[in-house]
Amino acid sequence: MTTLANQQMTAKPAKNTREIDTRPLLWPSVIVLFLWMIVPLAMTLYFSVIRYNLLNPMLTGFAGLENYTFLFEDPALWTSLWNTLVLVGSVLIITVVFGTLFAVLYNAEFHGRGVARLLVIAPFFVMPTVSALVWKNMLMHPVNGLFAWLQSLVGMEPTDWFTNYPMLSVIVIVSWQWVPFAFLILLTAIQSLDQEQKEAARIDGAGPVDMFFHIVLPHLNRAISVVIMIETIFLLTIFAEIYVTTSGGPGTATTNLAWLIYSVGLLQFDVGYASAGGVIAVVLANIVAIFLVRTVSRNLQQG
């Protein structure tokens, strides 16, 4: 802190605010973020082109694209990419549809609106390991779970969710956590909708359905795209929910890219191979990130 202050003292006195040397203020953050961005990524890239297995120290040397070749020939990669796509896609559709409908519903006037809204956003603040375990045990357990009991009430056989519908179960849990997020963002966005515009449309004889499609939805357009992009970044690497429920199984039924990399790298200790997977994850995330950064930067320019 003293060096920082000293450097500020020695900077020439500013007549214009633009002339102050801001480097000592800005650079600490820039430097640590730069290291955080570049060092692990460079290591991942490096590991992905060498032979490196923690269990087999004899295995060394440059591997070229060997790890990538193995990876692309491994059916597990394609399964995991497909699973990632199914998981991300389903959760996105569910959260955007329900988030939008909830935002419209909870924007209307009704008794106890404030409290009802709090209840709906609550799941977003529950840590992922807790939500996954509560769903897995207390709700979806095939013998003692609440769903099993409800099914038996109407004379159905209880469903063994995680054995028969593992991916669906994971999707349900993750959606329960992320619908509140979409809802919260879209509710905030819907509140900025011009009341007069709505009133004018109503006077022109627009019904609720017309209103939704021609006024509300266009207004929410950008908020929805922001929700989709931010969720995609988080959902691409869903991990904790799979860790405590299915461990990627049965078989590879719920192995997404994150779980594949984890199991190859930290359970089978094949660093080179796992790092090649890591590079794929980075590339995928970056494709999404480009769109997000563009949207945000447009916003930054507007004001």
For position 180 contacting other proteins by CB under 8 A, the verdict is yes
Nearer to other proteins, 106 or 161 (CB): 106
Closest distance to other proteins from the beta carbon of 200 (Å):
19
Q: Which of residues 68, 161, 176, 178 is near other proteins by CB under 8 A?
A: 176
Q: What value, to the nearest 5°, has the Cα angle with vertex 81 and ends 77 and 84?
A: 135
Closest distance to other proteins from the beta carbon of 28 (Å):
6
Q: Which of residues 72, 78, 89, 222 is near other proteins by CB under 8 A?
A: 222
CA distance 285 to 280: 9
Distance of CA 255 to the CA centre of its chain: 16
Site string for other proteins, 95-124 (x = CB under 8 A): -------x--xx-xxxxxx-xxxxxxxxxx
Task: Give me the helix-helix angle, 217-235 and 75-107, nearest 10°.
Answer: 140
CA distance 154 to 246: 28
Cα–Cα distances in angstroms (integers) from residue 212 to residues 23, 104, 204, 209, in the given order: 49, 9, 14, 5
CA distance 131 to 155: 28
Closest distance to other proteins from the beta carbon of 129 (Å):
4
| Range in contact with other proteins (rule: CB under 8 A) among 56-64, 66-74, 134-142, 195-203 | 134-142
For position 51 contacting other proteins by CB under 8 A, the verdict is no
Q: Which of residues 23-42 bind other proteins (CB under 8 A)?
A: 24-26, 28-30, 32-33, 36-37, 39-41
For position 55 contacting other proteins by CB under 8 A, the verdict is no
**Sequence-distant (≥ 6) Cβ neighbours of residue 163 within 8 angstroms:** 142, 250
Count of positions on this chain that bind other proteins (CB under 8 A): 113
**Sequence-distant (≥ 6) Cβ neighbours of residue 107 within 8 angstroms:** 187, 190, 191
For position 193 contacting other proteins by CB under 8 A, the verdict is no
Token output for 109 = 């006037």
For position 43 contacting other proteins by CB under 8 A, the verdict is yes
| Range in contact with other proteins (rule: CB under 8 A) among 65-73, 163-171, 194-202, 289-297 | 289-297
